[in-house]
Copies of this chain bind each other. A is one copy, B any other.
């Protein structure tokens, strides 16, 4: 035997490429095309580095209370982690422990869910979206060990109504139901309003998209006090101090500057809606995305061909070589100028 026999072997999640260098148009990881709130830069400039000799606040203050105040909930209903991936990983570990029943999630969805399930050896069963990439509500009414659904879904961008989640919650009082709202700020209605009513609901969010802070690693979640307490306990059993002091301070500024947040979010939404028209004119069809990306297929050109042509032109979008979605491109919404470069290239390529 060798020490390798007992290693946990996994097939890790593969994130989108992070090309470096000038002149690259990066529309492949759903980052914001705009900088974060100006207060974040100020925090860094004025930060007293001497304080870093001390451990951060293990209760993730002052960010936790700031989020609670902004969203009108109690601080004991808020959990803060190192990006929503950290929050979701801890939630899988904490809540999805049924000995045999599978956790349910869509077949076309965030491709980290099955990775976490494999890592923690959680049984799971994917539920096929319908032909229009809509969630089939009835799929989530069978016996299960937990439910996780993103809203809007990724990479489709499809938004489901809060009423659907409420019906799924009513059908599943015995498991934890996670709604992954990474993209909710781009025009969706949140399930946050349901946390007082359903103590088994966890609503997960991130600063990486709408708050333009992918590089600082902040995710957060809302739930009943009881649910959040369990999640905190597991987190304290993993790492007492996940959030560094600088991030906790800078994050507060991003939350406080609500007018800037609305401004950049509105700009992304406006560019997205304009992009839909441009893409339609170019012969693309797509779901009615309420996120900061568009999931599009062309009537004539294969997605892989377009992906390669764009990449050769230093325009990065996302493509998965997976059943049902291999002919789609996921295009993050960039600045208007970046999108114009994309459309100009496609016009020439497709026209040629």
Contacts and interface: CB of A to CB of B under 8 A. Distances in A.
Interface in A29-87: 29, 31-36, 40-41, 44-45, 47, 49-58, 82-83, 85-86
A31 B54 contact: yes
A17 B41 CA distance: 31
A119 B238 CA distance: 8
A106 interface: no
A337 interface: no
B244 A244 contact: yes
A11 B232 CA distance: 11
A12 B49 contact: no
A1 B82 contact: no
A281 interface: no
A89 interface: yes
In this complex, the member of A3, A35, A86 whose beta carbon has the largest number of chain B beta carbons within 10 angstroms is A3
Contact of A29 (B18, B41, B55, B145): B55
A58 B12 CA distance: 13
Given A53-B36, A54-B31, A214-B55, A236 B13 contact: yes
In this complex, the member of A56, A82, A98 whose beta carbon has the largest number of chain B beta carbons within 10 angstroms is A82
A182 to B, nearest CB: 13
Interface residues of A, number: 87
A242 interface: yes
A294 interface: no
Contact of A85 (B226, B240, B245): B240
Interface string A1-33: 111111111111111001000000010010111
A37 to B, nearest CB: 9
Interface stretch (A134-142, A148-156, A169-177, A188-196): A169-177
A260 interface: no
Contact of A217 (B15, B33, B212, B242): B242
A310 interface: no
B214 A175 contact: no
Contact of A8 (B4, B50, B93, B246): B93
Nearest to A248: B215
Count the copies.
Answer: 2
Contacts of A132: none
A61 to B, nearest CB: 10
Contact of A15 (B26, B55, B214): B55
A149 to B, nearest CB: 16
Interface in A224-241: 226, 230, 232-241
A143 B112 CA distance: 36
Interface of A: 1-15, 18, 26, 29, 31-36, 40-41, 44-45, 47, 49-58, 82-83, 85-86, 89, 93-98, 115-116, 118-119, 145-146, 173-176, 199-200, 208, 212-217, 226, 230, 232-247
12 contacts: A3-B95, A15-B58, A18-B55, A26-B54, A31-B55, A44-B44, A44-B246, A53-B212, A53-B214, A215-B245, A216-B246, A217-B242
Given A216-B244, A217-B241, 19 more contacts: A2-B174, A4-B230, A6-B175, A7-B97, A10-B233, A18-B55, A33-B53, A36-B50, A36-B52, A44-B49, A52-B214, A54-B215, A85-B239, A86-B239, A116-B237, A118-B237, A214-B241, A244-B244, A244-B247
